[in-house]
Amino acid sequence: MSPSIPLEATEAFASLAELVYSGADHQEVLDTICRRAVDIIPGADHVSIATLGKDQALISRAASDDVASLMDRLETEAGEGPCLDSIVEESFQRDDDITSFSTWPALAELTIGRTPVRGMIGYRLQHGTDGRSALNVFSDTPGALTSESADIGAVLAAFTSIALTAAERQADVENLRRGLDSNREIGKAVGLIMAAHDVDADQAFDILRSASSRTNTKLAAIAEKITGSHGRSTS
């Protein structure tokens, strides 16, 4: 049986979808997801989206508040927790009351001593070829993260995965566009150098690359200056 999603949560998902596909900045999307999650997941007080780095440290990509960001750091410090386990074990993780028992005792000790958090959930996010990110939900009230909370959070986690994938694709397209623009400028500059110095393409490119090295300037920037100067001289 699929989880029953309250009307306000459904409306929130619809507004988030509009934000994603309107082409909004991906950081704005992730920040908004964290803030709205606190409103639509029953019992949630703090929410973060974190990525596991190569050094096994969690990097907060977005957070609803400072407590959520702190929880990502505490998981790194403890070396255990719902975010880490959801990523490494590729599974849903939940401790709804760390004051009575916790799957992660080292994290529970740090959490109780330094934050108001008493319950936590971690969802692994599926996106791109990475899959090393998680949506993390924290509650200040023991037992407040119920099965309903977990179900609604799961839907939000799936949505967040889609948002991350959309953001990555948008970034890939933008990087490709910039690369093509740069390559066109480099090609134009090589052509101008060939004509001005009566050299072949390889020699012209070597001249361009040498200028880039001497001035510690990116090749594309040097090329843009050359083509720009030529445009002004012929105008």
Contact 169, 85 (CB under 8 A): no
Question: Is residue 216 a part of any domain in this protein?
Answer: yes
Residues 12 and 111 in one domain: yes
Alpha carbon distance 125, 162 (integer Å): 9
Quick check: 97 pLDDT over 70?
yes
Same domain, 34 and 125: yes
Task: Indicate whether 85 and 153 sit together in one domain.
Answer: yes
Same domain, 115 and 211: no
In the predicted model, is pLDDT for residue 229 greater than 70?
Answer: no
Q: Is residue 197 part of a domain?
A: yes
Q: What is the DSSP string of the chain?
A: -PPPPPHHHHHHHHHHHHHHHTT--HHHHHHHHHHHHHHHSTT--EEEEEEE-TTS-EEEEEESSHHHHHHHHHHHHHT-SHHHHHHHTTS-EEES-TTT--S-HHHHHHHHHH-S--EEEEEEE--TTT--EEEEEEESSTT-S-HHHHHHHHHHHHHHHHHHHHHHHHHHHHHHHHHHHHHHHHHHHHHHHHHHHT--HHHHHHHHHHHHHHHT--HHHHHHHHHHHHHHHT-
Quick one: average pLDDT of 116-125?
96
CATH number for the domain that contains residue 148: 3.30.450.40
Instruction: State which amino acid sits at residue 178.
Output: R
Tell me the residue range of the domain where 183 lies: 174-233
Residue 6: is its pLDDT beyond 80? no
> What pLDDT is stored for residue 218 in this prediction?
76
Asked if residue 1 is part of any domain, the answer here is: no
Same domain, 69 and 181: no
Domain end, chosen from 126, 145, 172, is at: 172
Asked, for residue 152, whether it belongs to a domain, the answer is yes
Task: Report whether pLDDT(188) > 50.
Answer: yes
With bands split at pLDDT 50, 70 and 90, how would you rate the model's confidence at 1?
Answer: very low
Same domain, 160 and 184: no
Residues 143 and 213 in one domain: no
* Comparison of pLDDT for 176 and 188, the residue scoring more: 188
Whether the pLDDT of residue 211 is over 50: the answer is yes
- Alpha-carbon span 93 to 82, nearest angstrom: 5
Residues 6+ apart with CB under 8 A from 187: none
The reply to whether 151 and 216 lie within a common domain is no
User: Domain of 198: which CATH number?
Assistant: 1.10.10.10
pLDDT for 163: 74
pTM exceeding 0.75:
no
% of residues, the chain, pLDDT over 90: 41
Distance, CA of 120 to CA of 46 (rounded, Å): 9
Of residues 229 and 157, more confidently modeled = 157
Question: Per-residue pLDDT for 187 more than 80?
Answer: no
The mean predicted confidence, pLDDT, of the chain is 82
